[in-house]
């Protein structure tokens, strides 16, 4: 790809439909979402529940459509000036919710704030490549990078822009109260009740055309049964993460419309491969202290991987609302490597690997993970525990709310844990950097709670990130992923499918990033 062809002009791509072609505007939308945001602060946590809520009130320079393709957002175009300089032209006529006009100063202010926010998983992973931000004029900003970095527009699609009038690094509490919740998005902040609901109102001055809904009641209903009951009773007009156990019944319900789509979210098990001894949830087969950490042995990690019957989980636990996986990107996506197999279910070989590693009688471990975040998350942990126990690895499960789990992981207080990761940029670099990248390197390992480190993988990833040619970059990122998967850096389980339920007369545009937004809900024409 020619570097100069990196210029993207946005006016034609985002031409608005004529008013007559748009459905009539509606008054209120009540949504039931399955996972609570950790904060209203759009820079606090790289977690999908946070990002999809922020997308209602804040916007980035670059937007992603439902297929994770890039489109102009607050920037109408971007151009690669030279190998290490990107220039972004801001859209004219955009105002914040407080009436202030968007300028390049706001962009520079935002980029400075992001790495200053104390975060469980920082958005700084998306700003690390930037060495300097230059305000050229009110509508032009340039980003300098230390090395060639073709993915900067992808990364900037993750950074929501704030007005510089908020002052020096406003605390996250000011966003939760609404004091600092000022964006350019289609909806304005009204109120926030943690773990209950967020209320928003239509931004009538929105640059992109008047939003569909006058009011949005964004309700947090973590319990799956309660979510379905709310939909069936009409208490909410739509829900996300329809429980797999109810799928067959809801598909036949005349009052409802069920929408399904593939996602980019991998469910995986991370392992403490860092400690040489004293891993917190590990002991011998009879509870005795071990003199070394068995998870540092690749043979043990492979044994745990092939002890998991992925097809059984997909069919019996997930009701086929998932695809068995052996890597982070699903088939057909940029960066998926067909040469990386889904690990076969082979408990007999798993027991032999454990014996060769010096654990013929296995060991004891606790598998930790959330019970309120991913589809069937606690049930998956219980099934994996049973499968591990069958090869002699006595496994107990500790499933708790995600906030509690993340707190523990940030203290590195777990030996094995279940999490999910969505490469919402549509390519694998974020997982290679944040989940698999060596912790301690700039912009790496921010979600690597097992502290896996592989210098070879990091080096190949770096070469991929500096390669402008799409085909060559994809091959390098595939190679990096292959290195990590052959080393069993983590244990991939499956890629989730996304399922939404809506009352009849409404439909939703499914997104591969799994986000549930009011902007995607429309009356059926």
Interval 200-234: pLDDT, tens: 999 999 999 899 999 999 999 999 999 999 999 99
The pLDDT of 307-314, averaged and rounded, is: 98
Confidence class for position 424, pLDDT limits 50, 70, 90: confident
DSSP state of 100: P
Mean pLDDT of the chain: 92
Contact 78, 8 (CB under 8 A): yes
Q: What is the percent of the chain where pLDDT is above 90?
A: 83
Contact 360, 505 (CB under 8 A): no
Q: How many CB atoms lie within 10 A of CB 224?
A: 19
Kind plus residue range of the DSSP H or E element containing 387: helix 377-390
pLDDT value for 7: 37
Question: Is 5 a residue whose pLDDT tops 50?
Answer: no
Confidence class for position 476, pLDDT limits 50, 70, 90: very high
Question: Is 15 a residue whose pLDDT tops 50?
Answer: no
What pTM value is reported for the model?
0.75
**In degrees, to the nearest 5, what angle opens at C-alpha 423 toward C-alphas 41 and 441?**
75
Report the distance separating Cα 281 and Cα 381, nearest Å.
15
Confidence class for position 25, pLDDT limits 50, 70, 90: low
Question: Is 421 a residue whose pLDDT tops 90?
Answer: yes
pLDDT, tens digit (0-9, with 9 covering 90-100), for 432-451: 999 999 998 877 898 999 99
Report the distance separating Cα 262 and Cα 323, nearest Å.
9
Confidence class for position 68, pLDDT limits 50, 70, 90: confident
pLDDT, tens digit (0-9, with 9 covering 90-100), for 86-130: 999 999 999 999 999 999 999 999 999 999 998 888 899 899 899
DSSP state of 258: E
Give CA separation, 477 vs 1, 299, 429, in Å. Answer: 17, 25, 7
Report the distance separating Cα 333 and Cα 68, nearest Å.
10
pLDDT value for 202: 98
For the chain, domains (ranges, CATH) are 7-11+39-185 (3.90.76.10), 265-496 (3.10.105.10)
Nearest C-alpha neighbor of 255 from the set 26, 518, 523, 505: 505
């Amino acid at each position: 790809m020619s570097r100069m062809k990196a210029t993207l002009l946005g006016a034609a791509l985002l031409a608005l439909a004529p008013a007559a072609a748009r459905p009539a505007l509606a008054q209120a939308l009540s949504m039931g979402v399955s996972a609570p945001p950790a904060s209203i602060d759009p820079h606090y946590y790289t977690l999908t529940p946070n990002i999809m809520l922020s997308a209602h009130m804040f916007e980035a320079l670059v937007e992603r459509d439902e297929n994770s393709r890039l489109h102009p957002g607050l920037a109408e175009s971007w151009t690669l000036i030279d190998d290490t300089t990107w220039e972004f032209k801001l859209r004219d006529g955009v105002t914040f919710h407080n009436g202030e006009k968007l300028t390049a100063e706001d962009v520079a202010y935002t980029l400075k704030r992001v790495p200053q926010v104390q975060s469980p998983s920082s958005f700084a992973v998306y700003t690390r490549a930037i060495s300097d931000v230059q305000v050229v004029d009110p509508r032009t900003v340039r980003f300098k990078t230390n090395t060639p970095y073709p993915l900067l527009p992808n990364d900037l699609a993750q950074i929501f822009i704030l007005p510089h009038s908020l002052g020096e690094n406003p605390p996250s509490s000011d966003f939760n109260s609404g004091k600092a919740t000022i964006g350019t998005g289609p909806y304005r902040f009204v109120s926030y009740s943690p773990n209950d609901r967020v209320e928003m109102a239509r931004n009538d001055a929105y640059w992109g055309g008047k939003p569909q809904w006058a009011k949005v009641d964004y309700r947090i209903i973590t319990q799956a049964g309660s979510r379905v009951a709310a939909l069936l009773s009409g208490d909410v007009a739509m829900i996300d993460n329809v429980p797999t156990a109810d799928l067959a019944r809801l598909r036949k319900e005349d009052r409802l419309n069920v929408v399904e789509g593939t996602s980019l979210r991998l469910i995986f098990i991370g392992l403490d491969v860092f400690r040489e001894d004293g891993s917190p949830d590990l002991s011998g087969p009879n509870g005795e202290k071990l003199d070394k950490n068995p998870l540092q042995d690749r043979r043990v990690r492979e044994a745990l991987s092939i002890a998991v019957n992925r097809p059984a989980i997909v069919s019996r636990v997930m009701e086929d609302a998932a695809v068995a996986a052996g890597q982070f990107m699903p088939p057909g996506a940029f960066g998926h490597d067909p040469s990386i197999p889904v690990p076969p279910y082979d408990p007999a070989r798993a027991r032999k690997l454990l014996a060769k590693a010096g654990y013929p009688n296995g060991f004891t471990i606790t598998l930790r993970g959330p019970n309120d975040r991913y589809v069937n998350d606690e049930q998956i942990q219980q099934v994996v525990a049973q499968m591990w126990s069958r090869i002699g690895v006595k496994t107990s499960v500790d499933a708790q709310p995600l906030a509690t789990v993340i707190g523990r992981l940030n203290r590195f207080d777990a030996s094995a844990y279940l999490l999910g990761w969505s490469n919402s940029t549509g390519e694998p670099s974020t997982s290679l950097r944040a989940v698999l990248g060596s912790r301690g390197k700039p912009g790496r390992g921010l979600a690597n709670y097992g502290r896996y480190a592989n210098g070879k993988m990091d080096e190949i990833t770096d070469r991929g990130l500096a390669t402008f040619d799409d085909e060559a970059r994809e091959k390098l990122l595939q190679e990096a992923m292959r290195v990590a998967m052959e080393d069993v850096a983590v244990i991939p389980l499956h890629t989730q499918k996304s399922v939404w339920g809506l009352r009849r007369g409404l439909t939703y545009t499914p997104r591969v990033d799994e986000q549930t937004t009011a902007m995607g809900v429309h009356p059926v024409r």
